[in-house]
Structure 1
Amino acid sequence: MPGIAVTPSRDLDLVSSLLAQAFVDDPVIRWLQPDPRHHKQIFLTLARWVHGADASIDLAIRDGVPIGAAVWDAPGHKVSATAQIASMACFAKALRSRMRYGGILEQQFTKLRPKEPHWYLGQVGATVKGAGIGSALLTAGIDRVDAPAYLESSNEANIPLYERYGFQVTDEITLPYGGPTVWPMYRRG
């Protein structure tokens, strides 16, 4: 995308801050933890423990300023037992009394994921909406993907963007306890 550079990153603090800003109004994040002061901890826990060191993390930069990020897991990614334990402790700190919501979310998402090997787009977000940042991040990720890909769209407004990259809605679920709707999406390799 013109004016937007996408580069790999391992700066988990920066990436987590960008994603927390990008997802501040996201229906699933707000259901999971209504207090935005804890959102960065959620994304940091995801990046460090759930996606882990093997994740492909892209940073979008415009005029030297970081403006978005995307996190992908390669086919066959598994969370180790050690990482699961560490993530539980970190999620407990971030989710507090809503920890059960995190368990529900993980349980629902695990059931929806394809069984065949696939790339998983865990998060993609931009601090400025409508500026082509998401498109730049998706282009960089899709160019790298060498197998089918999967994501859960937590915002209906983002579905057309994902469809432009070949993803198709495969289901629609509504999370319990007054939760939002989520759209699993799959892209054939």
Structure 2
Amino acid sequence: MGVRIRQAGRGDRDTVVGLLDEAFMHDPVSSWVFPDEDDRRKVHGAFLGVFLDSALAGGWVDMTEDGTAAALWLHVPAGPPEEDDDTPVRMREIAGPENERAELVGRLTGEAHPHDRAHAYLMLIAVSPRHQGRGLGTALILPVLERCDRDGVPAYLEASSERSSRLYERLGFAFTGRTVDLPDGPHMYPMWREPGAGQVTSRG
């Protein structure tokens, strides 16, 4: 049975925030940003909502019709940003002014982000823990990669673990060679995909 996918709008914000909160509650990066689990449970969803708002404003969000999975994408143009990115500041404002890690993770990933070529940026992909292992994440990504291949557009992401980076390698992504090292925390794996890299076939 095919996976039905639609593009999310502002009216889906609460649903997608809830999904992001659930899916990333125990993610290595989220656990590093919010080492205290009680604190994480209080502000984690609102924190990830910053990324969702960016995707809704400057990209798009694909989600399954039943709300069990979503992918947040941005259109990133070539060249250095014309304006300073205030996302890291907003991340810290939401997480709490005393949480330096909330801003630092945004700045470190921003510094590693390539800007020499326009590309599609997969900010986050979330699958409800109760529905993982069913290929929903791949089903969300494949149509976008097919469009990238047709249009000659590269894609980029940061994997939050070495294990997840291996999963993305199957879709044609390649590690850029330098990790984003969070102080006293996990490593993130920037990955780039040239158009046409790997075999991409939609599953419906």
Question: Shorter-chain TM-score category?
Answer: 0.7 to 0.9
Using a 3 Å threshold, how does the CA distance of structure 1 residues 185 and 136 change in structure 2: closer, same or farther? same
Q: CA deviation at 1:57?
A: 0.3
Q: Structure 1 counterpart of 2:180, which letter?
A: I
Rg larger for? 2
Q: CA deviation at 1:90?
A: 6.2
Using a 3 Å threshold, how does the CA distance of structure 1 residues 90 and 107 change in structure 2: closer, same or farther? closer
Partner residue, 2:63: 59
Q: Name structure 1 gaps, 5 residues minimum.
A: none
Q: After superposition, what is the alpha-carbon deviation per residue over 1:67-120, rounded to whole angstroms, capped at 9, x for unaligned?
A: 010011013296967x838x745642334531x112221221112111221111
Task: Note if contact 2:91-2:103 (Cα within 8 Å) is conserved in structure 1.
Answer: no
Calculate percent identity across the aligned residue pairs: 29
C-alpha distance in 2, partners of 1:173/1:165? 21
TM-score by length of 2: 0.78
Partner residue, 1:84: 86
Trace 1:1-189 onto structure 2 (pairs within 5 A): 2-10=1-9, 11-34=12-35, 35-48=40-53, 50-61=54-65, 65-76=66-77, 84=86, 88-89=89-90, 91-98=92-99, 100-115=100-115, 116-127=117-128, 128-145=131-148, 146=151, 147-170=153-176, 171-176=178-183, 178-189=184-195
SS in 1 for 2:157: strand
Q: Structure 2 counterpart of 1:6, which letter?
A: I
**Number of matched residues?**
180
Task: Note if contact 2:73-2:120 (Cα within 8 Å) is conserved in structure 1.
Answer: yes
SS in 2 for 1:30: helix
C-alpha distance in 2, partners of 1:43/1:111? 20
C-alpha distance in 1, partners of 2:175/2:29? 17
Using a 3 Å threshold, how does the CA distance of structure 1 residues 129 and 157 change in structure 2: closer, same or farther? farther
Task: Note if contact 2:59-2:74 (Cα within 8 Å) is conserved in structure 1.
Answer: yes
Displaced runs of 4+ in structure 1, greater than 3 A? 77-81, 87-91
Q: Name structure 2 gaps, 5 residues minimum.
A: 196-204
C-alpha distance in 2, partners of 1:97/1:3? 45
Q: CA deviation at 1:17?
A: 1.2
Root-mean-square deviation (CA), in Å?
2.3
Task: Note if contact 2:159-2:190 (Cα within 8 Å) is conserved in structure 1.
Answer: yes
